[in-house]
Amino acid sequence: MSLITLLVLCPSGHTVQVKANPNDNIKKVMENVCKKREIASNRHAIKHKGRFLDPVTTIRFANLLNRSHLDLVEKAEAETESEFADVALRETETGKRFREKFTISTSLKNVLEKFEFNSDNGGKNPVIVFMAHEVEGWHKMEGTTLEALGICAGRSELLQLSFRAPGAKESVQSESGAGGTIAAPVNNVEDAKNADRPRRLCELMMEERFFNASMMSAKPKNPK
């Protein structure tokens, strides 16, 4: 797939050209720009035509064309101090859900331990799926953070948990009952950023939208 060029205007007034794959997410673009300018990526955000772009959105989904102009802007101090995400975990076999706030630097292993899952699962490996990304096994989960998986601070996200015998391959079934294709394994941060499985992505995005909508409707309304 051919690369495109994005033109990013930095707060210093410098314009940085970034070569990117249309399937890369906005966060990767921002990190590349910040690396070139030697500034902290967690204190900045990307805007396009005055609108903030979601860091986990892909370039293609954001409708960015070759030589699109973007703005790198500094976050407000209050935003940079908030590094928590609202994470829900759904165990696919039982349908049980667990929910807690975590910093995005929390490892997946610590998330499971918080919800009282441990390595005593009859020799089966835990498998976590988020969007098109899959992480299998305690060792890989210990080295994979929520941020590396693509979860950003201030968001509410749903993770799918199942258990798999070593060497076995299964598809994770969604709440709707339809089976999905196997998500791309995440071996490191780059895999998490670059994995792209459109059919699985669409399926899980629909479930996460339903989850987010249900959480919004559950919030108490302010009395008039």
**pLDDT per residue over 123-169, tens digit each?**
889 999 998 889 999 999 999 989 888 888 778 899 999 999 887 76
Print burial letters for 19-51: b (CB count within 10 Å at least 16), e (below 16): ebbbbbbbbbbbbbbbeebeeebbebbbebeee
How many Cα atoms are found within 13 Å in the side-chain-facing hemisphere of 78? 0
Q: Which pLDDT does position 207 carry in this prediction?
A: 57
The confidence score (pLDDT) of residue 192 equals: 44
**In the chain, where are the structural domains located?**
4-78, 84-218
Q: Are both 4-78 and 84-218 of the same fold?
A: yes
pLDDT of residue 178 exceeding 90: no
Q: Which has more pLDDT, 49 or 222?
A: 49
Nearest to 152 by CA among 8, 55, 20: 55
In angstroms, rounded to a whole number, what is the distance separating the alpha carbons of residues 4 and 15?
A: 16
pLDDT in the model for residue 71: 95
pTM: 0.49
- Considering the domain delimited by 4-78, tell me its CATH architecture: Roll (3.10)
Torsion of CA 214, 80, 143, 102, to 10 degrees: -40
Q: Mean pLDDT throughout 45-70?
A: 91
Question: Residue 54 — φ and ψ, nearest 5°?
Answer: -65, 130
**Class (C level, CATH) for 84-218:** alpha beta
Is 176's pLDDT higher than 90? no
pLDDT above 90: percentage of residues in the chain = 46
- Rounded Cα distance, 19 and 59, in Å: 11
For the stretch 138-142, contacts whose Cβ atoms lie closer than 8 Å and that sit 24 or more positions apart, written own/partner, are: 138/109, 140/186, 140/187, 141/107, 141/108, 141/109, 141/112, 142/107, 142/108, 142/109
